[in-house]
Chains A and B, each alone.
Chain A
């Protein structure tokens, strides 16, 4: 088995609009090795989420006009819908952005995780299913009891942990995380991200993490890709990108991070402006 999990080549996604087609992504190419952590940063509308949605074949209204997606050596673009459905979460899972509303409010957590097994033809006995879901919840730092709860009985951080537990239910080789912590407060963000990192390492999956918090990203990922206006303008090991950015936009992103010596300069400048 080769070590390359995902190979994206020349991915172009277009949205047809009244005034011609809009390119949401243009010729995006990258590849992921087993266990690699790949970060995608860029401003809103730069095509990060579109890339992930194209991978999951969940674009609403958009279409992949060219390019190829290869997952575990299998080409995805020609796959029929039923085969693609079976592949979701089994080989490639998603940790959603809106943790608050991503769980069905009328189903118990256990049932919502159980649905994944049921529709991927994984059969368990009642007690065995309960134990497996309990284990899954324990791995993301929740009590096995949580499976009997409804989403409204959980906090935002707990809900996102449930989503992480779901994403590893079928031990996929790739996890897509679309700003998994953006709805949470700063303290919980770090803990949830640490949990995501731990389970990802445990099952040996590669991960694509989308975010715009450069600092959080720098700690988490090994490879960083920068997207700007639908193009992947820079990819490299996270250290290289930070120490030697090739692109002007990347430099701007890095400079936008608050740092102590620059804060002093800002304050000084502000004082000088205030004095006539």
Chain B
């Protein structure tokens, strides 16, 4: 891997974060009117008396720096974002937006990274076996089942899973992420966390499995027609080696690209899963923020989501040349 490649990827990462921060800054300011004035007008329209309404608006404008030129506001916003100072949350009031997000983030990252990696790995393996002529007959029977699975929305899947495995059988908890809030990591604590994470993870894995399997199947069929596969067979290599090192290794390349994209949708797509399972992650936080019109928190969550997705893409970009030696030439 060349330093130029690493540098370009890093520059791309910062460019994406900067662009996201800028959009985050601009969008609320495109809305007509003044936030303080809007609240006051609402009060007035209900027939309430507000003494010195003009002064209050002016006061707040000065306090939030809204009278400064746009560029000064923008610079201040960037600087604050850089320090992760995203203001105070309205719905979690004494808490700052940053601390509310940092409390929720580990739950989402742990749940999503584990379940996405499982879905990706398992789905790719099944997809590869679906296309492989030497795989057992039972695997081929999975294909229609996976297609159905990939067509069911994940939140519906979450409800089905919840009903079957938590309400009906009672094997798993209805929601939450822990029985007692964990202090430190011991084996029983980890077991409790895994026990609570199992159902949300299962619904994410099930929903993703079909997507990964079908994508891999298509990529694999293409690779199986390549000349290097015929030569690998002619070389007298063992089937297992041809499958993993020659066929699957190459078919995985487009899958990894898709993984970078999927991580983006997965982060925001987990919102409803977390809501369904009462899981205290980013999705649940965002849901609450939306319900209580907590604009600062919504903005903050969007900012963090962009950063995590950009970071995940950066990591994949840096790993990609290890998977495909041709890429560092670009």
Contacts and interface: CB of A to CB of B under 8 A. Distances in A.
Given A101-B228, A104-B245, A106-B250, A152 B325 contact: yes
A119 B253 CA distance: 25
Given A103-B228, A104-B250, A106-B249, A166 B235 contact: yes
Contacts of B245: 104, 107, 115
Interface residues of B, number: 23
Contacts of A123: none
Contacts of B236: 85-90, 116, 119-120
B226 A101 contact: yes
A155 interface: no
Nearest to B324: A106
B46 interface: no
A88 B236 CA distance: 5
A116 B232 CA distance: 9
B253 to A, nearest CB: 8
B137 interface: no
B250 A96 contact: no
A8 to B, nearest CB: 18
B326 A150 contact: yes
Contacts of A88: 233-236
Given A96-B231, A102-B231, A106-B323, A152 B241 contact: no
Contacts of B253: 106
Contacts of B291: none
Given A96-B227, A150-B325, A150-B326, A105 B234 contact: no
Contacts of A96: 227, 230-231, 234
Nearest to B238: A119
B326 A116 contact: no
Contacts of A105: 228, 250, 324-326
Contacts of A100: 227
A88 B245 CA distance: 19
Interface in B179-194: none
A116 B233 CA distance: 10
A56 interface: yes
Nearest to A85: B236
B246 interface: yes
A100 B228 CA distance: 9
B329 interface: yes
A94 interface: yes
A89 B226 CA distance: 20
Contacts of A97: 227
Interface string B240-266: 010001100110010000000000000
A94 B323 CA distance: 28
B237 A116 contact: yes
A152 B324 CA distance: 11
B326 A56 contact: no
A58 interface: yes
A259 B324 CA distance: 49
Contacts of B324: 105-106
A90 B236 CA distance: 8
A87 to B, nearest CB: 7
Contacts of A90: 236
Contacts of A152: 325-326, 329
Interface string A105-139: 11100000001101110000000000000000000
A106 B253 CA distance: 10
A157 interface: no
Given A106-B249, A150-B326, A115 B231 contact: no
Contacts of B325: 105-106, 150, 152
A164 to B, nearest CB: 12
Interface of B: 226-228, 230-238, 241, 245-246, 249-250, 253, 323-326, 329
12 contacts: A89-B234, A90-B236, A96-B231, A101-B228, A104-B245, A106-B250, A107-B246, A115-B237, A115-B241, A116-B237, A152-B326, A152-B329
Query: Across chains A and B, which 7 residue pairs bring their CB atoms closest together, nearest first?
Result: A88-B236, A101-B227, A98-B227, A94-B234, A150-B325, A102-B227, A102-B231
